[in-house]
Structure 1
């Protein structure tokens, strides 16, 4: 998994286990997370549908797992044979485009604290359950969070400490528990509105 440069290299990949971040990469190595995916998620569909590579991107494992990968030609053949799958995939791509627009808005407009909250909520969405709290096992490091949301590691540490003090998170070395998802969502929404 990694950067793609030609349509022949584009593969449709279905995540069976584990969690991955799909990131855009700059020539200097800077990266921005486009989306996070877990079991049942997939990537490579944009390149296949557009019949060209979407640019320099990589799938980075947060928790490595098993994936099923198909070549561009094989997946295109499946889409031709199963029109309903193509239709559902196009719907998903349109939905993902809206999420990318939201992500661009977050990076351009939101405060560093709200960007951090948005990223934590995105990671929480990968976990099953509908309760008011969620534990992020194998949580990203402060450095990783900082690079994903465009702030310094020190700012991430400062905001996480503030969230702990407010009782909104409980954190240890590689785990973060978001204790009040509705309140965290409301904090981000309040900044947007």
Structure 2
């Protein structure tokens, strides 16, 4: 079933995800989840004991989509597909989230220096009683980084709202020797896979036939 106005709800604060959706012509409204306050976040991004990276990123994304879907119903908003996504960086089985400060960001960059790591982005589309999900994997190889380069990058604003402490679309592009996978997935929303899920929910993408 197609949504009547072909819009979706985006359950993400990420400016990069908004940019990527606009790139493929998807109209959206933000349906943001609480991430702080007296009661804490609506969806916790804490890793459960023994949880593998694939399971972690898929679980958090599902919880975000479900929470946003229930918010839509509770607020009696027009019924539209809800899109949620979550990205994590993995090296040596260690999940790297968003660094809390300079020291943590620098430690993350040292662990990525001169090595290949994985970036996992899970995407969920929830509409009516149906849920579609997939997780995209990419490999990223960093050049060796010296302390001066790490310090200069960590003194910028870039590392602190990004999994793994870097953004491929920003200044950290100069650190990256090679990628295998999805550039947009590493940014935070794999567009090929996202378009597949949105089409299943009835969202038109590059379709001018009206069918």
TM-score interval w.r.t. the shorter chain? under 0.3
Query: Could you tell me the TM-score, scaled by structure 2's length?
Result: 0.23
> Greater relative contact order: 1 or 2 (C-alpha under 8 angstroms, separation 6 or more)?
2
Query: Could you tell me the TM-score, scaled by structure 1's length?
Result: 0.24
Give the structure with the higher percent helix.
1
